[in-house]
Amino acid sequence: MSTTIPLTITVDGEPRDLDVDPRTTLLDALRDRLGVTSTKKGCDHGQCGACTVLLDGRRVLACLTLAVAKDGADVVTANGLATDGELHPVTEAFLANDAYQCGYCTPGQICSAVGAIDEARQGMPSAVTSDLTGEVTLDRTEIAERMSGNLCRCAAYVNIVSAVEEASRA
């Protein structure tokens, strides 16, 4: 029961050492062990997206990721997106478009949006992309589809899509 495994994860630019029970998710490691609470727990089942973080540049659900499997990984939360005190363009777009209300799902939405914009730039198609080999144009339908893993019960979706649209053009 008491077996723990040591690992090092870089979180928002800082290397962090910890010993974890192998059952510990990346989400619990971040929130409960490292005090990184920007990322939120909404369901712990991979169904809501509130815990989305960028892991080695790709968006992942921290609640479905075992911490022990990510030794050496680079994790960025919504709080770590800022550079030199300047907010990330996606973060700025969320502010400008009133893209949230209670704020609980927001850090996950923002990480997801950063990941989605990057995936589109790399030409990765989604379920609604008609041309699977060409360039991806992030119109509202594409954005809504690519953001559909992130639930928002306040339903700020109309403004979330607008924010991602604005940020994707930046």
**Complex with other proteins: residue 13 or 72, whichever CB lies closer:** 13
Among 6, 19, 22, 37, binds other proteins (CB under 8 A): 37
Establish if 103 lies at the interface with other proteins (CB under 8 A): yes
Q: How far is the CB of 28 from other proteins (least distance, A)?
A: 8
Among 52, 54, 114, 149, binds other proteins (CB under 8 A): 149
CA distance 101 to 165: 19
CA distance 142 to 162: 12
* Strand 74-76, strand 5-11: pairing: parallel
Among 102, 124, 132, 170, binds other proteins (CB under 8 A): 102
Residue 86 DSSP label? B
Q: How far is the CB of 156 from other proteins (least distance, A)?
A: 7
**How far apart, in Å, do the first and last CA atoms of the chain sit?**
50
Kindly compute the dihedral angle of the four CA atoms of residues 60, 152, 119, 142, in this order, to the nearest 10 degrees.
Answer: 150
Establish if 64 lies at the interface with other proteins (CB under 8 A): no
Establish if 165 lies at the interface with other proteins (CB under 8 A): no
* Placement of tokens 């499997």 in the chain: 69
Q: Which two tokens stand for residue 127?
A: 């379920």
Applying CB under 8 A, which residues contact other proteins? 1-2, 21, 23-24, 28, 31-32, 37-45, 47-48, 50, 77-79, 81-82, 87, 91, 94-95, 98, 100-107, 110, 140-141, 143-145, 147-161
